[in-house]
Amino acid sequence: MTALPRLATAMNSSDNPDVLRTVGMSGVALAVWTPTQPDGFQDWIESLPSERLPRLRATLPAQHARDAVAAACDRAATPAGAYRDHLVDRAAYIATLASDILASLLVELRLDVTSGQACPKWHLDSVHARLLCTMRGSGTEFGPARSDGTPSAVHRLPTGAVALFRGLLWPGKELPGVIHRSPPARSGATRLLLVVDPVEAHPC
């Protein structure tokens, strides 16, 4: 009799970025790094007009991420200063982490600016893994999947948290069992979401 595949539903969370490497552990479908932000950064980015938020979609080696994000800030006329530098440095570091952890020389790097609920349906992504970080606005909602495709409980990532989700193409015999979606839209609110996908992943 063929055994049913196991469902990975565990989550690991820490203020140490190395926690993201645990997404490859047995049973783990989600790893979350909760970094600290410089004082005043969140107030600064939340106060920017939406047209000053960087927008980006590029496939590149992770070591080029900093230049790409900096150029996106230039195009959006994101105000120069320590907070912009932090935004650029954090996004580049996150891209480098994803590239290293997933053994992918190239990553698809996105900075999405949205005012609605971009992905309202609960889902798994059709990738090996996806890294999400809400830099402004409400964090991504997630939860363990039930057989009907809805979560048994709904949780929300903190703004600024870095979450690495297993996707549908994750190798091995375990099925990813943590689904996610965009948070419900808030009137007048604009969200800045960093997304990093491996172009060719060989996760351990």
Is the residue at 155 inside a domain? yes
Is the residue at 1 inside a domain? no
Helix boundaries (H) for 77-174: 82-101
Is the residue at 7 inside a domain? no
Residue 96, domain extent: 31-198
Please state which of the ranges 5-14, 22-31, 49-58, 180-189 shows the lowest mean pLDDT: 180-189
Is the residue at 26 inside a domain? no
Number of CB atoms found within 10 A of residue 110's CB? 16
Is the residue at 19 inside a domain? no
**Residue range 51-62: mean pLDDT, rounded:** 98
The structural domain count of the chain equals: 1
Q: What are phi and psi of 90, to 5 degrees?
A: -65, -45
Per-residue pLDDT band for 173 (boundaries 50, 70, 90) equals confident
pLDDT at 1: 44
Per-residue pLDDT band for 187 (boundaries 50, 70, 90) equals low
User: What is the distance between the alpha carbons of residues 68 and 158, in angstroms, rounded to a whole number?
Assistant: 25
Is the residue at 11 inside a domain? no
Per-residue pLDDT band for 89 (boundaries 50, 70, 90) equals very high
We report the CATH number of the domain holding residue 100 as 2.60.120
142-166 per-position pLDDT tens digit = 999 998 888 999 999 999 999 999 9
User: What is the distance between the alpha carbons of residues 85 and 129, in angstroms, rounded to a whole number?
Assistant: 27
pTM for the model stands at 0.93
Is the residue at 20 inside a domain? no
Is the residue at 4 inside a domain? no
Dihedral sign (CA 14, 132, 29, 108): negative
